[in-house]
Chains A and B, each alone.
Chain A
């Protein structure tokens, strides 16, 4: 499973890179979203894969080590998802303004407009 996930993560990153290299600004944002998905998954896999129970502390302070799931990466990813959401929302608004202001979604035209 780890190998399969590693390949999937690689694929997600590849998709992100490919989209980032497009000229359309919409695809740029899609690329960034792929990156954030891939990174979340990367951190998750790096923390170790353990099927089943979520990590809950039992009342009696004991038997915690019976559940090997690591809660720390989960907390990290949770934060990352929220921040990623904030960034995506901001990007979308920015893209909207960008299109309104420039009338294009082609990033290359920014440079060419400069030379005119």
Chain B
């Protein structure tokens, strides 16, 4: 089993080695990289027989089992299906990129990123633990961010990348919260165990929040309305990336998650309604916008949105037939969309534009590629004999089988498909057939490396369409069964006999052809309508929101980070003392319980000295008086120490106080007079803060007098002063013997301070250039 893990590690190492390989091996490098991916495809395909018998593989490395956190891999029909798409498409994309990216100086970086992307996506679909899945999920977001913004010198690319990142990562975070809640409910995050606890989760009171959080992740990733707008923006990426991102990775991650969790969370009314409505809206919107674009890549991007909507809708309908339809349509879409994006890149490269109004008749210069494109487009239109036809028929069937709202969905589905037919026909007839049309130089015949990917994919679309039974048995049925084990095996064939579904298909095609014939007339009107009437752009709204948020944080920061030292202190003082006051009020010390000593006359006098000196020091205008009264405070405290038997402390304090006074006098001589900076209002405010702090300190002292928690540590020192340290002055013995090392530290501090003082006083700076 750990073979899967070994392959993942190999893929990751390959990603890191790719830049070196590209510069050393030159032309052969992309082929070698493609081989690595293709070998993964072959290796995974080896599991197909084993998996199709209903087996699963599970491999776990314990990480933090107490938090349900493990690194696990899980292989069943569904993950195998996705893993094959990821590696197979990856191989083709890598080979394609080899030629496509040749002129770019940064191609080393590109190959590293796209392999990292492939690794992340493969690891995501193979993850057997939701947290592992989340980590790779975020890794796909990050690597796609770097890929979308690959042409980082273009501001649109940077903006699109940032948008894609922010949206998918925000959704990812919500999803993680959902996963954690799911783990708390089920007591596990292992997928193979979650699959068994579906009922427990569906009946839990927290089901709805969990569902919403996880759907937020899936919908943002899979570009569902209203998060769809990042996907058209993401076409700023190099075309091979678009091919990969739209067909097998990234946007399919959300679909994968929905399919994966469908047995765990699906089947409830909430699930059905949310998925059906979101999917249907996304499907129609995507179709509409696809019809009214003039940029080939943009057309494709919006059809992807539409297709993703269809997939979500199918999962939302949640019947046997709709799940079958979803899996087949997933394959259909991956095949044609991968091919078409590669062809879009190829056209862009050889004709220098993707604007559908400027190019046409490319079949004459690139016959193979055009044939591949036409086959893929027919599959997109859902016409026989492509596999797309089978997919579309099943989707119609799923909608027919619905009781009440089915008809509405059927209408929506037919409408979308009519658009797809029209777009496909328009692209076929304008872009590939008909008279040759191009701006600038005559398009060249594309290189073999560019043609092989689309040709293969188109070929598969055709072959699967003609002989669907084998692939259904080997790959599709196991994938469907891991979503719903009770489902009967998939029987696929091109010909269903005459029935209502076929009739609807006929209507669709007929309407599609009509719409296609109107294309030239309708399209400019729609483009105009889109540009002038629908002024609201989701992407712009998002940017505006982002700007507002940044503005807000800037304001907030400049409010909190005022840059004035006083305000920082004020914040600290106020917050600390308010918290302390809160605590003090709740545990107000019982003053009666404290044993008071009666103050004698000397103590009273000393206290009066301290208090009056303090008041003078604070309020007096003369510097000298302030310093002297501070001395008064110090000496007063020293006298208190004398009275309460702390002779050594008193001596030290007096000495230190005297020295400080002398130093102060020397320095103050060089300083200006006190100036009054503050207004009376700010004095009053500061006094209030000061009293707040002072009051809580008073409370603290009273509180401290009440507590006597531990036995006196001092007893040890008192008892051992003479036997161990041979001295009778205990305070001295503590300082120079028991805690001598501390005293050494203290002396060090003094020495450092002394050096600092000398350095500061001796340091000469030129006047004016001082900093």
Whether chains A and B associate is: yes
**Residue positions of A touching B, CB distance < 8 A:** 1-24, 26-27, 30, 33-34, 37-38, 40-42, 44-46, 49-59, 61, 64-65, 69-72, 74-75, 77-79, 81-90, 92-97, 99-102, 105-108, 111, 114
Task: Identify A83's interface contact among B626, B691, B749, CB under 8 A.
Answer: B749
Q: Can you list 27 A-B pairs, Cβ within 8 angstroms, ordered by A?
A: A1-B598, A2-B594, A2-B705, A10-B697, A10-B698, A12-B610, A12-B694, A15-B694, A20-B566, A34-B614, A40-B637, A51-B643, A54-B647, A54-B648, A55-B718, A57-B721, A61-B719, A72-B717, A78-B731, A85-B660, A86-B750, A90-B753, A93-B756, A99-B672, A100-B765, A105-B672, A108-B677
State A24–B683 Cα separation when bound (angstroms): 13
| Complex: chain B residue closest to A58, CB-CB | B728
State A21–B679 Cα separation when bound (angstroms): 13
Task: Identify A55's interface contact among B702, B719, B731, B752, CB under 8 A.
Answer: B731
Asked if B535 is an interface residue, CB under 8 A from chain A, the answer is no
**B566-A26 in contact (CB<8A):** no
Task: Identify A92's interface contact among B573, B630, B667, B704, CB under 8 A.
Answer: B667
Q: Which residues of B contact A37 (CB under 8 A)?
A: 633-634, 637
| Besides A54-B647, A72-B714, 17 other A-B contacts (C-beta < 8 A) | A2-B701, A4-B603, A10-B694, A17-B689, A18-B690, A22-B566, A23-B566, A42-B704, A51-B597, A71-B717, A75-B734, A78-B648, A82-B750, A83-B746, A95-B671, A96-B670, A101-B771
Nearest Cβ distance between residue A87 and chain B, in whole angstroms?
7
Nearest Cβ distance between residue A25 and chain B, in whole angstroms?
9
**B677-A23 in contact (CB<8A):** yes
Task: Identify A59's interface contact among B701, B712, B728, B742, CB under 8 A.
Answer: B728
Task: Identify A77's interface contact among B630, B649, B675, B722, CB under 8 A.
Answer: B649
* B676-697 Cβ-contact flags toward A at 8 Å (1 or 0): 0110000000110111011111
**B569-A81 in contact (CB<8A):** no
Q: Which residues of B contact A72 (CB under 8 A)?
A: 712-714, 717, 734
Asked if B599 is an interface residue, CB under 8 A from chain A, the answer is yes
State A75–B728 Cα separation when bound (angstroms): 14
**A26-B694 in contact (CB<8A):** no
Report whether over half of chain A's contact residues are helix, strand or loop; otherwise say mixed: helix
State A1–B750 Cα separation when bound (angstroms): 35
State A61–B722 Cα separation when bound (angstroms): 7
Known: A86-B749, A93-B761, A99-B671. A51 touches B644 (CB 8 A): yes
B434-478 residues at the A interface, CB under 8 angstroms: none
Task: Identify A75's interface contact among B617, B715, B739, B765, CB under 8 A.
Answer: B739
Query: What is the interface residue range for chain B against chain A?
Result: 35 or more
Q: Which residues of A contact B718 (CB under 8 A)?
A: 55, 57, 64-65, 71
**B734-A11 in contact (CB<8A):** no
A-B pair count, CB < 8 Å, reads: 286
Q: Which residues of A contact B566 (CB under 8 A)?
A: 20-23, 107-108
**B677-A26 in contact (CB<8A):** no
Which of the candidate stretches B76-84, B363-371, B651-659 sits at the interface with the other chain? B651-659
State A114–B561 Cα separation when bound (angstroms): 14
**B569-A20 in contact (CB<8A):** yes
Q: Which residues of A contact B701 (CB under 8 A)?
A: 2, 5-6, 9-10, 42, 45-46
**B678-A22 in contact (CB<8A):** yes
B193-215 residues at the A interface, CB under 8 angstroms: none
Q: Which residues of A contact B743 (CB under 8 A)?
A: 79
**B672-A1 in contact (CB<8A):** no
Asked if B548 is an interface residue, CB under 8 A from chain A, the answer is no
Q: Which residues of B contact A58 (CB under 8 A)?
A: 728
Q: Which residues of B contact A64 (CB under 8 A)?
A: 718-719
| Complex: chain B residue closest to A102, CB-CB | B770
* B612-647 Cβ-contact flags toward A at 8 Å (1 or 0): 001101100001001100100110010011011111
Q: Which residues of A contact B1 (CB under 8 A)?
A: none
B721-737 residues at the A interface, CB under 8 angstroms: 721-723, 727-731, 733-735
Interface centre among A8, A30, A87, A101 (most CB of B within 10 A): A8
Asked if B557 is an interface residue, CB under 8 A from chain A, the answer is no
**A33-B722 in contact (CB<8A):** no
Known: A3-B702, A21-B570, A30-B626. A85 touches B656 (CB 8 A): yes
State A3–B704 Cα separation when bound (angstroms): 12
Asked if B663 is an interface residue, CB under 8 A from chain A, the answer is yes
Asked if B105 is an interface residue, CB under 8 A from chain A, the answer is no
**B649-A38 in contact (CB<8A):** no
**A90-B563 in contact (CB<8A):** no
Nearest Cβ distance between residue A10 and chain B, in whole angstroms?
3
